[in-house]
Amino acid sequence: MAELSHVYNRDILIGSIAATIATAITALSRFALFFGGDEDANPIAQIAMILLAPIAAILIQFAVTRSRETQADTSGADLSGKPLALASALRKLEAGGKELARRGVGGTPAEQPNNAFSSLYISAPFGGAVRGGLGNAFRTHPKTEDRVRNLEQLARRMGQMA
């Protein structure tokens, strides 16, 4: 249900807009470096701008994505009327990702999955290798425990949990 909620909530449109803005910020920082006028400008500041602007744009895009995931969880739980079932499914997906990380793709740890595909997963894949601090800013999905906590609070409000 949560995945259907992405369609209902127009998350693809919102994500596309966020990606477009991130791309525009990156392009503007590049243009500023190459065509940005003042010869007396500090070259270190210019290099910092070209490096930091795209990182800031990506962080904003990921923050939007995480908030849309939370909204999709809530909408999906409202639609199904079973937030605890969704929480259970998320726990199982998390456990499966940890098992995949432990044993590897082909059964051997040497065949580890490619993290470039992590945004295609419902839960943090491959054991959720990103942990704590600034690393959480680069997550495409909220932490599973946060998603489960949100769904349990919804279940309490629905009277399904004491």
Q: Report how far residue 48's alpha carbon sits from residue 53's, in angstroms, rounded to the nearest whole number.
A: 8
- Active-site residue 39, yes or no? no
Catalytic residue among 3, 99, 111, 145: 3
Q: Which residues are catalytic?
A: 3
